[in-house]
């Protein structure tokens, strides 16, 4: 099954867009409370007070509706991080800390965490959910970091190596430990000072391996 997960561009009327907004809000509440498998389009339609046929006029399947929710939850905050990357010719450490803070603040916030938990719980039965989650979220973020690191390498700020590999290592270090514990529900919301200390430590480790003067072999 191929799931469409692009943001609609067909020029919906104001009333139609309000209806679509209502569907997303109600469906997100049900999906996050019950999980993907236990939620039906009939239940969503009933909660909305309309027919299932009307619901299918907006979303062709339950998978497509969930994909739209993932985009709705993640796309705006992610764009806020990647559309304001630090300048290439600025203070590298400070810029990477800013990037890491933006990335972590977004990823470990409540709504993305809730969506991530549903995807992890349901991906064995519905592998498409994992694919759509990856392609609409982590993959797009990875591509933006790769492009940024490529420019940093060209400017001499980072040592020249595989930019995709460096981007993966940066993200792994930024997410390490705190993200997993938040995902498992064993860590309370993290204060900004604690989060910044974690990001600074992660950036310093990254620069030891990937800074312009580094000769470490981390391939």
How high is the pLDDT of residue 76? 82
CB distance 85 to 59 below 8 Å: no
Look up tokens 């304001």; give the residue.
Answer: 84
CA–CA distances in Å: residue 26 to residues 43, 45, 109, 210: 10, 9, 20, 45
| Mean of pLDDT values over 10-19 | 73
Distance CA 131, CA 192 (A): 32
DSSP H helical ranges for the chain: 14-34, 41-48, 52-58, 62-82, 92-107, 110-122, 127-136, 138-154, 163-175, 178-183, 192-210
Task: Examine domains 14-60 and 70-210 and report if their fold is the same.
Answer: no
How high is the pLDDT of residue 22? 94
pTM: 0.82
Most confident by average pLDDT, 72-76, 131-135, 164-168: 164-168
Length of the chain: 219
Indicate the DSSP class of residue 155: T
CB distance 71 to 7 below 8 Å: yes
How high is the pLDDT of residue 185? 86
128: pLDDT confidence band, cut at 50, 70 and 90? confident
Domain locations along the chain: 14-60, 70-210
216: pLDDT confidence band, cut at 50, 70 and 90? low
How high is the pLDDT of residue 10? 46
Q: And the tokens for 195?
A: 């989060």
144: pLDDT confidence band, cut at 50, 70 and 90? very high
* CATH code for the structural domain at 14-60: 1.10.10.60
Distance CA 204, CA 173 (A): 10
Could you read off the pLDDT of 66-101 as tens digits, one per residue?
A: 989 988 888 888 888 888 889 999 999 999 999 999
**pLDDT surpassing 60 at residue 147:** yes
Could you read off the pLDDT of 199-212 as tens digits, one per residue?
A: 999 999 999 999 99
Helix axes of 138-154 and 127-136: crossing angle, nearest 10 degrees: 30
| Mean of pLDDT values over 107-126 | 89
70-210 has which fold? Tetracycline Repressor; domain 2 (1.10.357)
**pLDDT surpassing 80 at residue 178:** yes
16: pLDDT confidence band, cut at 50, 70 and 90? confident
CA 134 to chain centroid, in Å, comes to 8
**pLDDT surpassing 90 at residue 135:** no
Distance CA 77, CA 147 (A): 19
């Amino acid at each position: 099954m191929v799931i469409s997960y692009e943001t609609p561009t067909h020029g919906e009327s104001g009333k139609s867009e309000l209806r679509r907004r209502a569907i997303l809000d109600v469906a997100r509440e049900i999906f996050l409370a019950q999980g993907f498998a236990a939620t039906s389009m009939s239940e969503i339609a009933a909660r909305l007070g309309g027919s299932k046929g009307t619901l299918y006029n907006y979303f062709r399947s339950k998978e497509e509706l969930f994909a739209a929710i993932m985009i709705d939850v993640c796309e705006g905050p992610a764009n806020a991080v990647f559309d304001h990357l630090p300048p290439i010719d600025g203070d590298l450490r400070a810029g990477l800390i800013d990037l890491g803070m933006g990335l972590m603040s977004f990823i470990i916030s409540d709504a993305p965490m809730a969506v991530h938990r549903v995807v992890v719980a349901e991906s064995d039965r519905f592998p498409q959910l994992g694919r759509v989650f990856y392609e609409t979220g982590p993959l797009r973020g990875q591509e933006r970091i790769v492009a940024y690191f490529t420019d940093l390498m060209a400017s001499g700020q980072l040592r020249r190596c595989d930019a995709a590999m460096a981007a993966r290592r940066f993200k792994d270090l930024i997410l390490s430990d705190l993200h997993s514990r938040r995902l498992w529900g064993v860590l309370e919301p993290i204060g900004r000072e604690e989060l910044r200390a974690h990001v600074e430590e992660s950036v310093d480790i990254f620069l030891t391996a990937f800074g312009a003067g580094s000769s470490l072999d981390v391939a």
